[in-house]
Structure 1
Amino acid sequence: MAFPKRKNYQEQKRQKLVIVGSKNPVKIKCTENAFQSLFEDTFIVEGLNVDSNVKDQPQGDVETYTGAYNRAFEAKKAFPEADYWVGIEGGVDEVGAQMVAFAWMVILDGSNKVGKAKTGTFFLPEAISKLVREGMELGDADDRVFQQTNSKQGNGAVGVLTNGVVNRLEYYQQAVILALIPFLQKNFY
Structure 2
Amino acid sequence: MEIAVGSTNPVKVAAVERTLEPYEPTVTGVGVDSGVSEQPRSIAETVRGAENRARRALADTEADYGIGLEGGVARLEGVPGLSLIMWGATTDGDRLERGSGPTLRLPDRVADRVADGGELGPVMDDLLGTENVAESDGAAGVLTAGLTDRTQALGEAVACSFGPFVTDTYDGVWKP
Is the Cα contact below 8 Å between 1:75 and 1:85 reproduced in 2? yes
Matches of 1:26 and 1:45, distance apart in 2: 12
What residue is the counterpart of 1:9 in the other structure?
A: none
Answering whether residue 75 of structure 2 is matched by residue 94 of structure 1, we say: yes
Answering whether residue 31 of structure 2 is matched by residue 34 of structure 1, we say: no
Deviation at 1:113, TM superposition (A): 2.0
What residue is the counterpart of 1:4 in the other structure?
A: none
* 1:106-161 CA-partner distances (Å, limit 9, x unpaired): 00114x12221011211001111111112111111111112211000111111111
TM-score by length of 2: 0.90
Give 1:28's aligned amino acid. Answer: V
Match of 2:27 among 31, 35, 45: 45
* 1:137-189 CA-partner distances (Å, limit 9, x unpaired): 11111111122110001111111111111111111112211212211113533
Q: Which runs of 5+ in 1 are unaligned?
A: 1-15
Matches of 2:54 and 2:157, distance apart in 1: 15
Give 2:32's aligned amino acid. Answer: V
Matches of 1:161 and 1:97, distance apart in 2: 16
Change (3 A) 1:187 1:120: closer
What residue is the counterpart of 2:152 in the other structure?
A: 170
Deviation at 1:49, TM superposition (A): 0.9
Match of 1:158 among 127, 130, 140: 140
Deviation at 1:74, TM superposition (A): 1.2
Match of 2:63 among 69, 75, 82: 82
Answering whether residue 130 of structure 2 is matched by residue 148 of structure 1, we say: yes
Matches within 5 A, 1:109-128: 109-110=92-93, 112-128=94-110
Is the Cα contact below 8 Å between 1:127 and 1:145 reproduced in 2? no
Match of 1:182 among 151, 159, 164: 164
Greater radius of gyration (CA): 1
Query: Which secondary structure state, in structure 2, belongs to the residue aligned with residue 140 of structure 1?
Result: helix
What residue is the counterpart of 2:111 in the other structure?
A: 129
Is the Cα contact below 8 Å between 1:114 and 1:182 reproduced in 2? no
TM-score by length of 1: 0.84
Is the Cα contact below 8 Å between 2:3 and 2:26 reproduced in 1? yes
* 1:52-103 CA-partner distances (Å, limit 9, x unpaired): 1111100111110000000111112221x11110100001012466100011
Answering whether residue 7 of structure 2 is matched by residue 25 of structure 1, we say: no
Moved more, 53-62 or 94-103: 94-103
Matches of 2:37 and 2:170, distance apart in 1: 35
Q: Which runs of 5+ in 2 are unaligned?
A: 172-176
Query: Which secondary structure state, in structure 2, belongs to the residue aligned with residue 164 of structure 1?
Result: coil
